[in-house]
Structure 1
Amino acid sequence: MDFQPDTGTLYFTDNNVDMMGDDNPPGELNAAPKAGMHFGFPYYAGGKAQHPDWKDKQAPQDVTFPVQEFQAHTASLGLKFYTGDMFPADYKGDAIIAQHGSWNRTSPVGYQLMRVTFDDNHQVTGHEVFIDGWLQNGEAWGRPTDVLQLADGSLLISDDYNDVIYRVSYGDDNASSTDATSQSNSKTITDLQMPESAIAAPDGRVFVTEIGEFGKAGDGKVTVIDKSGQKTTLATGLNDPKGIDLWNNELYIADVDHVVKVDMKGDITVIAKAKNFPGKPVFLNDMEIDGNGTLYVSDSGTDDGENAGIYQITQAGKVSEILDDKSAIKRPNGLLMDGNDTLLVADFGTGDLYRANISSGKTEALNKGFG
């Protein structure tokens, strides 16, 4: 909810009810200029669509209907009237609404920012998409949740799916020059000793695992490359470190038969020893982490695929095997989260690409011929 700046009228969004079809009932933006108003619940499920459980009941005569309706199931949440000077002048007084997105619609909708426009008399004139793109080919990778305005007129958008906050600016020279600088650095980094995997931090640093001499214990390390291309060593004493990922400002690394955590001071902690694995870890390879901090580690196994699989490791250190060497994936290597409960898996043994369901362990072949 938010108060319209010039009139003081309270506006609020309404998610409505579910299970009434893909396009019914509509979402709502409501205005409450005074106390004691009735907005239709529970007689109306959204807009003027009556709820089936109350179809035989007489609704009050003084129901106030929404000032703007939205596509059903877009799930309008955070609302903010724009009062800044950064955006073009016609944005001032308009409402920006975060639409969290559907969960029970045949084809997903929402996952966007909506702009509701107002005229000089502070009445709604229409609505249009302000920002979209969090929904790609029916798959959501982000869910806008709330909107705030900074003193400079830029907007902050929270995303509770990715656990991030976006800043949206207009004509912001500082932001543009920063992006241009970061993209123009084409320096080649040399003298790395068998670099295996890399992960980029939000501040522009890149962390690289270096195996050193393959099969030699203790000569592996983690190298940091800053935005200017300068190289420093963060941690040493690893064996053959491979997959690396970053979560909560700490690095997680697969190191042959165990998994370690490295903090930003370079201190190393073993979080999953070889004996903690339900199978026999042989060739731990790639590392992927979901939004809850759960780790997924591939084990490419022996040359014949023996002991190959994919392990799940919780933040509490519990290790379980979600795929073993009896699955269709012979030697799992590269991992990438693909939604909440699926992984993309590259098969090092066959050159095939799979999608694996984490809960069920079922696999789906996607493509082949990668060598």
Structure 2
Amino acid sequence: MKYQSRQDALLVLEDGTAFVGKAIGKIGTTGGELCFNTGMTGYQEIYTDPSYYGQIIVNTTAHIGNYGVFEPEQESGSVKFCGLVCDEFASIYSRKRADHSLQRYLEEAGIVGISDVDTRKIVRYIRSKGAMNAMISSEILDKDQLLHKLRTEVPSMLNLELATQVSTSTVYDMGNPSSDIKVAVLDLGIKKSILKNLANRGVYCKVFPAQTPFQEMKLWEPNGYFISNGPGDPGVMDYAVDTVRDAQESGSPVFGICLGHQILARANGLNTYKMHHGHRGLNHPVKNLITGRCEVTSQNHGFGVAKDELDKQDRVEITHLNLNDQTVEGIRVKERAAFSVQYHPESSPGPHDSRYLFDEFIDNMQKS
């Protein structure tokens, strides 16, 4: 059953394109970068992924909210995205173990959204024109007024540092304290499922704030260093680049995911760039160039590592390649036990094709 909102809502893109629909979530106004996720399930995991901080999500699947929300499926302590765009928004949910409805969830989180819009048209528009900022409002229905507010108040994602906004403010741990394998985690916006994948493999993790210097993490005497996913432009995160460079040069194994992958690349002199519209979904095909095998992967990123620079040097090699657009999906530092992937091997939600990467990281630590 479709959610019956009594109020209209307006979505305006920074180039002036507008869509009229119905209000969902909180009544209000919100702005951020508009992006789309093609996943057919897992909306709660998406909404609580810190990598979406500062972004408005277009869910391409036709029905959103039909299985409600369930507390254990949170990927962080709170909702992280800033706005929702969808087609049909369910007023009822059918999952027995659900805690409550998505509408209540969004209201309590203060998330403004719009439904009953042509999401297929919006996605095709972004794919053609590129990612751009947008604003949703259920209180300002004048297009010109909302467009002016958008252009004057919402910053570009380019050159925007956001990891410190979502990182932990205090050090915490996860896993078995008596484990023989200890991993220092640099939290740039980590998902809980990543830590669970490490802990389930017997790893004891200590999670450090984004701006923690390497020497401070080193005092804990970990066996390896993990660099997490997160939001924002890696090109303005010199503090993290310095930390990861020091971790790599220490000789200890290093593993990075998503933003952590981009930071590892920068630590080795490679540049990153803002993609045309990014990769966000659960079915992106990636080829492992080492084994020759292909993986169906879960992805969420709007920045990438410059492939042309990788081709011109011999310190870092490409290990994984996106089969849709030939972008870089994985790298390895040749003379160090350091590697990273652009996608999400924890896959929550998504297929589990890539979870072997956690095992490779553990193997590296056991060998060092």
What interval of TM-score do these two structures reach, taking the shorter chain for normalisation?
A: under 0.3
Higher RCO structure (Cα 8 Å, ≥6 apart): 2
Which one has the bigger strand percentage? 1
Using the size of structure 2 for normalisation, the TM-score is: 0.26
Which one has the bigger helix percentage? 2
Give the greater-gyration-radius structure (CA): 1
